Chains A and B, each alone.
Chain A
Amino acid sequence: MLAELGFIATFLAFLAALYAAGMAFYSVRVRDDRLLLSARNAALATFPLLTISLGALLVALLSEQYQIAYVWNVTDPNTPTFFRLTALWGAQAGSLLFWSGIMSAFAFGALLLNWQGQRRLMPYVILYTMLTLAFFLSLSLFFENPFERYWIMPDNSVVKSVFALGGAVPPASVRLAETANGLNPLLRHFGMIVHPPLLYMGFVGFIIPFAFAMAALASGDLSTNWLKATRRWTLLAWVSLSLGLVLGGRWAYDVLGWGGWWGWDPVENAAFLPWLLGTAFLHSVIIQEKRGMFKVWNMFLMLGTFSAVIFGTFATRSGLVDSVHSFARSQIGFPLFFFWFGMTSVSVGLLLWRWRRGELRDERRLNGWLSRESLFVLNNIVFVMLFIAIFWGSFGAPIFSELVMGTTITLGKDYFLQVTPPLFLALFVLMGVAPLSAWGVTSLRRLGKALIVPTVLAALIVGLLALTQPAEPLALLIYGVIALSGTVALWETVRGAAARHRSLGEGWYTAFTALVARNRRRYGGYLIHLSIAILGIGALGSELYQQETQRTLAVGQSLELGGYVMRYDGFLGGQVAEDGRIMDIAQVTVLRDGREIAQLRPRRDFYPNAQGMNTMTIPSAHSTLENDFYVLLVDWETISARSATFKVFINPLINLIWWGALLLVIGTIIGMYPEDRPALATAKAAQPSQLAGAKA
């Protein structure tokens, strides 16, 4: 029943998406508003339909319907309820349906919220979003169907099909439950409830600004309407992707057991690539709004961002480049590749067509190389250079060398740490300088003067780091550059509040809140800059000054690392958890200056029923703002457990990464928060008329 319900709802959503796309296109051809309304309603219907499909799959997971192949594959009777929920996106078929569900939710929201203001763009927005949705639903229906069930045929062969085939009988429930796979051990982590949904929201969310950009190109409304309509959608997608990336790092830190949070794995990079172009877009778009410049460039960036999303999806899900994430190889590689190629080609063609017609001419030109717009251009170029370097390392070089030279190569951390640091440093320099420059023309003298206080503040931070952290002069200089990007944001905010405090006599708190409320976008942006600076300091410290050692200790013996002492106290072997995994746990005590500061329990989990990777090394850490003392249980004497081998890391400043991410969310919420109502009313009044030329 659940399988039929889910499948039918998915199929209806697929038909609705196709109908909406076709009808939206036709409504423009015949200029009939009623047809457009019909297209809109069909597009809106995809969301409730896919909610039903996802609901059906979720109920099947929770109620242990093992006849459904997907349920059998990702859960077993020992799976806790929490992981039954996360199993919804725990493998290819479920995650694809979930992806489509999120896409339909974004389309639903955009159609409802932007319908009145952007009616001329809407037919094309429907066309692009629904064609993309229909494509992904076709993958769910024809290649990776999560509702297929197991059937035993009269000749005793087992087949998968949604509906019962002639003479087929379902396998015995008990037998199915006994043999069920269970969730991939890698995915049994609390972060799995938020990491994949946020990453998908980040990926899928860019469909809205992309569809609006293409709608602007298709309709000829090349004003800033599409930018205004999509600013918050872009920010929502961007912050989701940012958080998805950071939480992915946290998951790797907690689960993969290698002491780090970013491994330059191709799939991590595949998610980072659209983030780079999306971030460039968020900056560049300000120039078009303020100065009427970079129209083609903004279109190109948005097109590139969504193209990178689809390419990343293709690379991840097709197994194009192997990695720990490529758990979901299947037959969808070719369809995804053709979709990516077709979508990118059509979009580039449309952009070039408008460009050649001269409809995307900029209204101003760059005057001074130190003006804010010039620095934004530099910022964009650095983002694109980073994109190229990371794309080349992750996909370009391995594919090129294999196809052209017949040699398989891996470009790993070595490559990325040689190529990207100068570019990241350049970005932090620009982050520090650009907010202080003025639109139009800025003099070096004026810029230098504005940098004095932030530089002093940055120097204080560097001094603090030099006192508390191991650091060499070059590292301190880099810390300083990163800190400057944050202190500029901080100082600009303080300066604004101080001006209100002085001129209006407001209290400091009122002055600060009023300042932020008057220009949420700017001060939300500053908070984001501050958060990126904090995150950058954490990333640099944990990367440059990580210490590690591996020792075998007998019970009662200790090791020393970075001022800490770790004593091996004992071993608890063969502990069985509620979900059936067997845990071997070491007990250690961490001391500093002769004082006990923490009891840690690093462990090894064994999943008896899991296929493939069935052992997980789970670290245990003592965290402070200064550093993490992070312990892994590597091995132990199997019979007596009198000795065990530990790998111990000290990760300086790593917790700044997580705190930085939290600030980033707050900054984005401030930036996204709607302006005061009068301003909205004015903006609405300035919108163009409804569907041009439509029959009433």
Chain B
Amino acid sequence: MKNLLRIALSLLVIGVALSAVTLSAYAQDDPRRPVTDDEVNAVSKKLYCPVCENITLDTCGTLACAQWREEVRLLLSEGNTPEQVIENFVARFGDRVVGTPVDPTLRALSLVTPWLLSGLVLLGTAIIFLRWRKEGGAPTPKASAAQPSASASVRSLETYRARIEADLAARR
């Protein structure tokens, strides 16, 4: 009986030791770590809801978005960096889920075009003004801040009146 008890105790000790080793090994292999809500939100803020367009994932109230947020948490807990999580979403849902496309062509198109267009506006304005200065309006008398020219509107009114008179004369 004593031997039986000794054997049982030994088996228990071996069992506990083995399970501890197994659990320890499992714990070392399991890369998952606790992820805070703030970490999830920091990534979700950069992702747009794939269903409700133009709403970021951290603020979208739909069930689908809640599930996607949990997916973000899972991916982060598995050791993915925020960039990798974003790439994962882009790979599955396309560039619509990020605020600026990841695809290099689309990204360049998005970010460079407004500056190109603005450059064209600047160029166009410069050309117009250079041409305009070359052709010239009436030369400007020097004016100070205290004496803004009030004659411009009067002059244009006179021109307008002269044109009305000419129109009327032509119709008589």
Closest to A389 in B: B114
In the bound complex, residues from chain A placing their C-beta under 8 Å from that of B129 are 366, 377
Q: Within 8 Å of chain B (Cβ to Cβ): is A266? A: yes
Q: How far is the CA of A411 from the CA of B111 in the complex (A)?
A: 10
Asked if A48 is at the interface of the complex by the 8 Å CB criterion, the answer is no
Determine if A415 and B111 form an interchain contact, defined as CB atoms under 8 angstroms apart.
Answer: yes
Question: CB of A173 within 8 A of chain B?
Answer: no
B100 A418 Cβ-Cβ under 8 A: yes
Q: Which of A393, A439, A647 contacts B149 (CB 8 A)?
A: A439
- Cβ of A381 and Cβ of B125 under 8 Å apart? yes
Q: Which of B53, B138, B152, B157 touches A323 (beta carbons < 8 Å)? A: B53
The answer to whether B143 touches A440 (Cβ under 8 A) is yes
Q: Is B127 engaged at the interface, CB distance under 8 Å to the other chain?
A: no
* Interface contact A223-B156, CB-CB below 8 Å: yes
Contact A292–B101 (Cβ < 8 Å): no
* Binding-face segment, B13-21, B24-32, B55-63: B55-63
Instruction: Report whether A388 and B114 are in contact in the complex, using a CB–CB cutoff of 8 Å.
Output: yes
Residues of A within 8 A of B41 (CB): 548, 550, 647
- In the complex, the chain B residue whose C-beta lies closest to that of A257 is B59
* Interface locus among A306-314, A357-365, A536-544: A357-365
User: What CA separation (Å) do A537 and B145 show in the bound complex?
Assistant: 29
Separation of A172 and B159 alpha carbons in the complex (Å): 70
The segment from A132-140, A230-238, A401-409 found at the interface with B is A401-409
Query: Which B residues from 104 to 155 make CB contacts under 8 A with A?
Result: 106, 109-111, 113-115, 117-118, 121-122, 125, 129, 132-133, 136-150, 152-155
**Stretch from B2-10, B77-85, B162-170 that touches the partner:** B162-170
Contact of B54 among A228, A265, A418 (CB under 8 A): A265
User: Closest residue of chain A to B120, judged by CB?
Assistant: A388
CB-CB < 8 A to A291: which residues of B?
140, 148-149, 152
**Among residues 579 to 626 in chain A, which have CB atoms less than 8 Å away from a CB atom of chain B?**
613, 615, 617
Measured CB to CB, the nearest residue on chain B to A400 is B109
Can you name the residue of chain B whose Cβ is closest to the Cβ of A404?
Answer: B109
B92: interface (CB < 8 Å): no
Q: Which of B33-89 contact A (CB under 8 A)?
A: 36-38, 41, 46, 48, 52-56, 58-59, 61
Please give me the residue from chain B that is nearest to A645 by CB atom: B37
Q: Which residues of A contact B149 (CB under 8 A)?
A: 290-292, 364, 439
Q: Which residues of B contact A693 (CB under 8 A)?
A: 167-168, 171
Tell whether, in the assembled complex, residue B148 and residue A686 are in contact, meaning their CB atoms are under 8 Å apart.
no
- Minimum CB–CB distance from B47 to chain A (whole Å) comes to 10
The CA-CA distance from A348 to B127 in the complex, in Å, is 20
- Do residues A410 and B113 form an inter-chain contact, with CB atoms below 8 A? no
User: Chain A contacts of B168 at CB under 8 A?
Assistant: 692-693
A21 CB to nearest B CB, Å: 24
Interface centre among A228, A288, A415, A647 (most CB of B within 10 A): A415
A517: CB under 8 A from chain B? no
How far does the Cβ of A507 sit from chain B's closest Cβ, in whole Å? Answer: 25
Contacting pair B118 A385 (CB below 8 A): yes
Query: Would B99 and A392 count as touching, CB distance under 8 A?
Result: no
With beta carbons under 8 angstroms apart, the residue of A224, A405, A408, A414 that contacts B153 is A224
* Residue from B36, B55, B114, B149 with most neighbouring chain A CB atoms (10 Å): B114
Q: Is the CB of A409 within 8 A of B101?
A: yes
The tally of residues in A whose CB lies under 8 Å from a CB in B reads 76
Question: Could you say which residues of chain A place their CB within 8 Å of the CB of B145?
Answer: 372, 437-439, 442
Interface pair B99/A410, CB less than 8 Å apart = yes
Q: How far is the CB of A65 from chain B (nearest CB, A)?
A: 33
Residues of A within 8 A of B103 (CB): 407
Closest to A423 in B: B118
Q: Which residues of B are found within 8 Å of A412, using beta-carbon distances?
A: 48, 54, 56, 98-100
CB neighbours (8 Å) of B140 from chain A are: 291, 364-365, 367, 440
Indicate if A577 sits at the interface (CB-CB under 8 A). Answer: no
A681 within 8 A of B: no
Contact between A361 and B137, CB atoms less than 8 A apart: yes
Q: CA of A647 to CA of B45 in the docked complex: distance in angstroms?
A: 13
Tell yes or no: A476 within 8 A of B by CB: no
Give the distance in Å from the alpha carbon of A613 to the alpha carbon of B63 in the complex. Answer: 12
Tell me whether B143 and A365 are in contact (CB under 8 A): no
A229 interface residue, CB < 8 Å from B? no
Q: How far is the CB of B19 from chain A (nearest CB, A)?
A: 32
- Asked if residues A388 and B121 are in contact (CB atoms below 8 Å), the reply is yes
The interface bits of chain A over 677-696 (1 if a CB of B lies within 8 angstroms of the residue's CB, else 0) are 00000000010110011000
Residues on B with beta carbons closer than 8 Å to the beta carbon of A396: 113
A113 within 8 A of B: no
Chain B residues near A220: list those with CB within 8 A: 160, 163, 167
Q: Which of A437-451 contact B (CB under 8 A)?
A: 437-442
If A224-B153, A367-B142, A407-B103 are given as contacts, then 10 extra A-B residue pairs at C-beta distance below 8 Å, sorted by A number, are A266-B54, A365-B132, A397-B109, A407-B94, A408-B94, A410-B96, A414-B46, A415-B100, A438-B146, A688-B164
List 29 A-B pairs, Cβ < 8 Å.
Answer: A223-B157, A228-B153, A290-B149, A292-B137, A293-B137, A322-B54, A324-B55, A363-B156, A364-B140, A365-B137, A388-B114, A392-B114, A397-B110, A407-B103, A407-B106, A410-B53, A410-B97, A412-B48, A414-B98, A418-B100, A419-B114, A439-B145, A439-B149, A440-B142, A441-B143, A550-B38, A550-B41, A647-B37, A692-B168
